[in-house]
Amino acid sequence: MPVPQHVFDPPFNIVRSSHVVLDVVDLNKSVEFYDNIIGLHVEDRDDTTAYLRGSEEHQHHSVVLRKAEQSAAARLGFKVGSEADLDKAGSWFAEHGVLYSFVDRPFQGRTLHVTDPFGFRLEFYATMDKRPHLLRRYERYKGCHPQRLDHFNVFAAETQDTIDFYARLGFRLTEYAEEDGDGGRIAAAWMHRKGNVHDFAITNGKGPRLHHFAYWVPGPLNIIHLCDVMASRGLALERGPGRHGISNAFFLYVRDPDGHRIELYCSDYQTMDHDHEPLRWSLRDPRRQTLWGAPAPRSWFEQGSPFPGQEVREPVFVADVVIAD
Ligand SMILES: [Fe+2]
């Protein structure tokens, strides 16, 4: 299937993936998990909403937890280059039949809300309140020392169309998994704006759903420590620790109290060269999932966080992936 070409003059300038807004049923329990186990820093909270960030983030939040009746992935947040880019984004979405609205969000400047044609609920903003970063405040380090939100990974029912849509918005392909043979379909794509492996990964599956969001941590020992902390708390690990073939990430995946999946990872690589070429993986290559050869569990392929009000659709095709059973 077609591999999208790099677009260097997108209709508006998306800088990077920025923050995720999660609906959670027990706010105290969720804050306790992200604060004391994962090690994010609570920047503000009240009875209904909590805002957290990693230690190197200058901005006010990279996770927003909202008390809700049902768990959900409420919004995926992207930073754009300027206020003018927000207006360009609104115009572009309108031209392409996508409704948009400007909303007020605490601690953020003007914020644009859209639901893309595939059901992913997004928000774009140019400015957010600043805070002194905590990178050298080692006395405040906790958990696995998460430093910055790096990317989102979503389940998309219409994988190729979703990849093509985001390519038009300037997301550049770095790695992809494809069926073998003539006419092999792309089952997953890793796409970036900021110059590493990805800001947004698109995975074939029942969608739209959020598969996971990821924080960068300093090294593998931080991840091993989190494994020990989780075990000491009687909490299960979903997948890892391990080394992905794709992206070269040393990874761990855990689930929060609502089942939202969070990845902690380190050691991917730079991709900002204009002539950086995407790396193809066979869908059946076990080193793709885990360089060391262990396949991912069934929950990995089947479970994700829905977006509020968005019907989850069956994928256009079922990818023949290797599953650990
Ligand atoms: Fe990831």
* DSSP labels, 53-104: E-TT--BS-SEEEEE-SS-EEEEEEEEES-HHHHHHHHHHHHHTT--EEEE-
Tell me, in angstroms, the distance from the centre of ligand 1 to residue 268's CA.
10
How far is the centre of ligand 1, averaged over its atoms, from the C-alpha of 154 (Å)? 10
The pLDDT tens digits along the chain (325 residues) read: 689 999 999 999 999 999 999 999 999 999 999 999 999 999 999 999 999 999 999 999 999 999 999 999 999 999 999 999 999 999 999 999 999 999 999 999 999 999 999 999 999 999 999 999 999 999 999 999 999 999 999 999 999 999 999 999 999 999 999 999 999 999 999 999 999 999 999 999 999 999 999 999 999 999 999 999 999 999 999 999 999 999 999 999 999 999 999 999 999 999 999 999 999 999 989 888 899 988 899 999 999 999 999 999 999 988 888 888 7
Q: What is the pLDDT of residue 302?
A: 94
Q: Which of 170, 164, 56 is nearest to 124 (CA)?
A: 170
| Ligand 1 center to 61 CA (angstroms) | 19
Rounded alpha-carbon distances, angstroms, from residue 291 to 208, 232, 241, 273, 295: 28, 28, 12, 25, 10
Sorted by where each begins, the domain ranges of the chain are: 14-131, 143-306
Report how far ligand 1's centroid is from the alpha carbon of 262 (Å). 8
Q: Quick one: CATH architecture of 143-306?
A: Roll (3.10)
Find the DSSP H helices in 154-305: 159-168, 220-232, 286-289, 298-302
Homologous superfamily assigned to 14-131 = 2,3-Dihydroxybiphenyl 1,2-Dioxygenase, domain 1 (3.10.180.10)
Cα separation of the two ends of the chain: 29
244 C-alpha to ligand 1 centroid (Å): 10
Residues 6+ apart with CB under 8 A from 143: 36, 37, 38, 39, 40, 226, 229
Ligand 1 centroid–CA 214 distance in Å is 5
